[in-house]
Amino acid sequence: MRIRALIVAYAGLLAVFIAYVYHYQHDVSRIQSVNEDTSPFYGKPDEKYVMVTFQSGMDYWKRCLKGFEDAAEALNVSVEYRGATQYDVNEQVTVLEQVIARKPAGIAVSAINPTALTKTINKAVEEGIPVVLFDSNASGSKAFSFLGTNNYSAGVTAAHEMAKLLKNEGKVAIITSPHQLNHQERTRGFVETIYQKYPRMQVVAVKNGKGDAMASKQAAMEILKDYPDVQGIFATEANGGVGMAEAVKELNKKEIKLISFDTEKQTLDLVKGGVIAATLAQGTWNMGYWSLQFLFHLHHHLTSPSRSEDSPLPTYVDTGITVVTRENVDHFYAK
């Protein structure tokens, strides 16, 4: 009898426990559902945001897109990646027009040219689609904000690094993309710092690498032919770095100090192998992540769409840089 009573008691306790767990899970699910339905920071899967770049197959954009996707997961929204396949202004304008026609919740754009996309960006904003710029700015447009490297400061950093490598003297050159604002600023920061801070150094040439490894290799070949006593070259983007490294290897001028930009695997391999002395890593994940956060705030009217002083979102965010050398290069390979 006592055993039967114990069994009945245990069965009762078990039933109470199961009922408690059921009601607890039900309450948690209900609370989560209420929170998701009412939270201003929780969107819907059919709410789509688009990232638009150029040379869309470049490894460089992968970390930007990863940040964009991570923000989408946190906000419960969807994202799409589009871009011009080539370094072509007209193609990027066309892609952006196509994206606008689909009326997304917001667009994050890296502008191939500081002015050529302004009209199209303004069209999106005027149609009620929030736009932010990242990596490369179009400062005359109506885009809400720019998130990217302080490119002038990056050029300054590259100049100081080059001066350190050359012991503050020697002739140097630059390979850049002169029609793109971020590269213009990097070039200006480098040139002005050399001129102002290092009187025994001289920038003797600035060449257009066209954002292409082969064109940059040719540019480096021309520099080394015209100025055989050049001791260092700074490339303002990754393909330029790869191209100048190929030129130096082909001409067997490994004593020339090379500084590149960004952290594509090929660039990192060249740093690890000692061909490129240093490269500058940008905060690309931050660019993508915070671009989507900004767009979400704008789409949901959680902030003012105007560039007023009392707006809670900044109109410019410096996403930072890090100097990558042989000593720390292993930390920058994609995991």
pLDDT tens for 281-328 read 999 999 999 999 999 999 998 876 665 555 678 999 999 999 999 999
- Kindly report the average pLDDT of the chain as a whole number: 89
Give me 88's structure tokens: 């072509």
How many angstroms from the chain centroid is the CA of residue 305?
23
Kindly state the average pLDDT of the residues 210-226.
Answer: 97
Task: Inform me whether the pLDDT recorded for 6 exceeds 90.
Answer: no
What pLDDT is attached to residue 17? 45
pLDDT band at residue 31 under the 50/70/90 scheme? very low
Spatial CA neighbour of 112 closest among 55, 64, 180: 180
pLDDT tens for 48-89 read 999 999 999 988 899 999 999 999 999 999 999 999 999 899
Share of residues in the chain with pLDDT > 90 (%): 76
The total number of residues shown for the chain amounts to 335
What pLDDT is attached to residue 35? 46
Residue 322 burial by CB count (10 A; 0-12/13-18/19+): exposed, middle or buried?
middle
What pLDDT is attached to residue 185? 95
Give me 56's structure tokens: 């869309």
Q: Give the whole-angstrom CA distance, residue 114 versus residue 117.
A: 7
Q: For every residue of 114-139, which 3-state class applies, written as one string?
A: CCCCHHHHHHHHHCCCCEEEECCCCC
Phi-psi region of 210 (alpha: psi -120 to 50; beta: other; left: phi over 0): left
Residue 18 burial by CB count (10 A; 0-12/13-18/19+): exposed, middle or buried?
exposed
Kindly state the average pLDDT of the residues 178-206.
Answer: 96
Task: Inform me whether the pLDDT recorded for 4 exceeds 70.
Answer: no
pLDDT band at residue 168 under the 50/70/90 scheme? very high
Q: Give the whole-angstrom CA distance, residue 141 versus residue 11.
A: 71
What pLDDT is attached to residue 164? 98
Cα–Cα–Cα angle for 87, 89, 94, rounded to 5 degrees: 115
β-sheet with 78-83: strand ranges across: 78-83, 48-53, 106-109, 131-134, 146-148, 316-318
What pLDDT is attached to residue 335? 66
H or E stretch covering 11:
helix 2-38
What pLDDT is attached to residue 21? 44
